[in-house]
């Protein structure tokens, strides 16, 4: 019985719909696929979506989430950066009509939906808020330019047509 042991009541298994949380807790949807994460980014519209729009919006299939307190080095739990990995994009869920053959634009949307989102969030009373105008907010996707450093830099395995030096 240390102070790090969970103190909430276990939620029983269920096959019902909806999110179940222990008594005294509440759930909140903070970000959904396609939600804008930058100031001025367009709202998600699956009928008119483009790759350029998706690179300003939250990705799909989150399987890793981290919280990094702000300011850097603090233990603040009311403001920080939310880092979320996006490992997959399901055409059947994201494109109207469940297309069997994807267009070039749909493939570009899928590529931009994968990767990683970094979003500044802050607690506002009992709710969490996405700070869309934060300079920290960004998407890292298949087309994001990166600089490789350390021992990997220059390795033959890092060389591509776009960067023959690796």
Residues whose CB is less than 8 angstroms from the CB of residue 143 and which lie 6 or more positions away in sequence, other chains included: 55, 111, 112
Q: What is the pLDDT of residues 38-94, one digit of tens each?
A: 999 999 998 899 999 999 999 988 889 999 999 999 999 999 999 999 998 888 888
Q: What is the pLDDT of residues 12-25, one digit of tens each?
A: 888 888 888 998 88
Residues whose CB is less than 8 angstroms from the CB of residue 55 and which lie 6 or more positions away in sequence, other chains included: 112, 139, 141, 143
pTM for the structure as a whole: 0.81
Q: Give the lowest-confidence range in 4-18, 52-66, 111-125.
A: 4-18
Three-state SS at 94: helix
């Amino acid at each position: 019985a240390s102070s790090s042991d969970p103190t909430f009541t276990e939620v029983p298994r269920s096959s019902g719909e909806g999110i179940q949380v222990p008594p005294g807790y509440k759930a909140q949807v903070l970000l959904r696929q396609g939600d804008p994460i930058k100031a001025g980014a367009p709202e998600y519209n699956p009928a008119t979506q483009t790759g350029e729009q998706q690179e300003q919006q939250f990705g799909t299939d989150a399987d890793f989430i981290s919280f990094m307190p702000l300011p850097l080095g603090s233990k603040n739990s009311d403001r920080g950066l939310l880092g979320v990995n996006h490992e997959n994009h399901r055409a059947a869920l994201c494109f109207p009509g469940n297309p069997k053959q994807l267009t070039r634009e749909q493939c570009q949307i899928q590529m931009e939906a994968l990767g990683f989102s970094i979003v500044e969030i802050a607690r506002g009373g009992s709710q969490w808020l996405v700070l869309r105008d934060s300079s920290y907010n960004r998407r890292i996707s298949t087309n994001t330019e990166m600089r490789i450093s350390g021992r990997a830099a220059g390795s033959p395995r890092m060389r591509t047509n776009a960067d023959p030096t690796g």
